[in-house]
Amino acid sequence: MSCAITKAPKEEFRGVWIATVANIDWPKHPEDDVTKKKKDFIAILDYYQKLNFNAAIVQVRTAGDAFYETDLAPWSKYISGKEGEAPKDFEHPLKWMIDETHKHGMEFHAWLNPYRATVNLDTTTLANSHDFYQHRDWMVKYGQKYYYNPGLPEVRNKFNLIIKELVSNYEVDAIHFDDYFYPYKMEGEVFEDASTFSQYGLPSQSLDDWRRSNVDSLVSNAHKTIKATKSWVQFGISPFGVWKNKSTDPRGSDTQAGQTTFEDLYANPLLWVQKGWLDYLAPQVYWSMDYPVASHRKITTWWDQATPNTNLYIGNGAYKIKNNSDKAWNKTNEIPKQLKFSRNLEHVNGNIFFSAKSLMGTHEKVNQKLERKFYPLPVNNPGPLNKVKRNIQPPNIESHKKENGQLELCISHSDNVPRFINLYLVKGRQRQLLIKEYLAENENLYCFDTELSSKYVKKSLAITIRDAYGNESDMHILKLNQPSLKPNRTPK
């Protein structure tokens, strides 16, 4: 076991996207009763906790809607069955999801889609409170959907209010955007924003540069709003995997992608990293290692070299395993090869899998490799690179009891920044993280118990506090005759 453990870094992001649009991952059906909805969500968390993942990126806004009660958007039809109606017997679903995620020792990243207003052209299913009816002038029809017009200051201001409300009212660990900025281009379609461009574009700006400046403003404003509200809440974006092809820009990757994030989606993550607007970047590198037109190997290497000044997590396309025309995905070692490759790069700090259902109840050999070779034990999440440095006091041990293979522990702490309690197994100068327990923003006393499953003579356990910035206290050593290893957490 120790050999496998030493290969894992002490900090590593291990995330999974939980998609709610079209009920991809959760809820399995919007009209399921609340008991089934909760059971299914917990099943996802249980599954990825067993694999020692440490973050869930949960989609809370899919298309001008919300998975929580707000005056800024109607309830999503994907949670209740009908847009604008609250889910039956399910009070405060977002708070519940956040609490359950934290109970599983994982961060909760609230995933929002900024500009998609509808999922099709059938607007009769939209609630009267949807922005399509409240602000029809904000909408642009493109293909088979309506989109918010990114060029309108009112659109950006509304989105700022949405973010401020989320960060203020909920204990989210991060705000997360995906790759949908301006829509992916469709042949024969025109995004009708010429009149907005004529009103707001600068005399020297091209249409393309103006569109990019709109997305830049969205990102910059979101960053300012998050940090002004709760400075410890992180901001991450998961752009399409190819910034530019080398054929159009020598700085681009050696790829032949049909569309690029810079030229087609009008998004420039290199600028966002340079300006310090992001805590992490998670490009979606959903191709196989040596896919000819867009090699995972080449693209991941490109991002590693291009964005050294942020936490870099690689998005992995687990949904393609044995489900793609590229034969490489038929092999059980494709994802493990990608993880091994990422770990050997200097600036890559973790991975995110799309999507939650992809590995559940299937691909057993892939899961075994993840559990045994890559994620045998939990690790801490990376803190922001430019973190606020704070002196964290070790927790006070109010009581602890060990009997019949159980360790019961109560700690207190006076800090007001949300944080994790870390329980370590100490072996000389080495320590191995065994479990993480979330201590809420204003929670000063916390008790939990854990099952002791192995005996180690002359070993000890230690407790630390780690805040949301990534600062960690000194260890408070618990001298026990029978320390624990590989515990099963049962938080109280």
| Domain residue ranges of the chain, discontinuous segments joined by + | 2-374, 396-491
In sequence order, what DSSP letters do the residues of 225-282 get, joined into one string? HHHHH-TTSEEEE--BS-S-BTTT-TTSBS---SS-TTTTS---HHHHHHHT--SEE-
pTM of structure: 0.95
Euclidean distance between CA atoms 347 and 308, whole angstroms: 6
Euclidean distance between CA atoms 199 and 454, whole angstroms: 69
pLDDT at 430 (0 to 100): 86
**Residue 430's beta-bridge partner residues?**
427
pLDDT at 235 (0 to 100): 98
Q: Checking phi first, is residue 46 left (phi over 0); if not, alpha (psi -120 to 50) or beta?
A: alpha
pLDDT at 453 (0 to 100): 56
User: Under a CB-based contact definition with an 8 Å cutoff, are residues 58 and 111 in contact?
Assistant: yes
Q: How many residues does the chain have?
A: 492
470, 472, 312: which is closest to 391 by C-alpha? 472
- Largest Cα separation within the chain, whole Å, is 76
Same fold, 2-374 and 396-491: no
**Per-residue tokens: 143:** 């293909």
CA 380 to chain centre: 15
Which residue spans within 29-138 are E strands per DSSP?
55-61, 107-112
**Per-residue tokens: 396:** 């006070």
pLDDT at 490 (0 to 100): 46
Query: Which CATH number among 3.20.20.80, 3.30.470.10, 3.40.50.80, 3.40.50.12780 corresponds to the domain 2-374?
Result: 3.20.20.80
Could you give the strand order of the β-sheet that contains 406-412, starting from the edge strand earlier in sequence? 396-403, 406-412, 445-451, 489-491
Euclidean distance between CA atoms 174 and 238, whole angstroms: 13
Euclidean distance between CA atoms 112 and 60, whole angstroms: 6
pLDDT per residue, tens digit, the chain (492 aa), is: 233 333 578 899 999 999 999 999 999 999 999 999 999 999 999 999 999 999 999 999 999 999 999 999 999 999 999 999 999 999 999 999 999 999 999 999 999 999 999 999 999 999 999 999 999 999 999 999 999 999 999 999 999 999 999 999 999 999 999 999 999 999 999 999 999 999 999 999 999 999 999 999 999 999 999 999 999 999 999 999 999 999 999 999 999 999 999 999 999 999 999 999 999 999 999 999 999 999 999 999 999 999 999 999 999 999 999 999 999 999 999 999 999 999 999 999 999 999 999 999 999 999 999 999 999 999 999 998 888 899 998 998 888 887 777 788 899 888 878 789 999 988 888 888 988 999 887 788 889 888 765 544 346 889 999 999 999 999 998 866 544 444 444 444
Cis, peptide link before residue 220, omega less than 30° from 0: no
Euclidean distance between CA atoms 348 and 282, whole angstroms: 10
Q: Domain 396-491 carries which CATH code?
A: 2.60.40.10
Euclidean distance between CA atoms 96 and 244, whole angstroms: 40
**Per-residue tokens: 201:** 């574009």
Euclidean distance between CA atoms 384 and 398, whole angstroms: 31
Q: Who's near 367: CB < 8 A, 6+ residues apart?
A: 51, 359
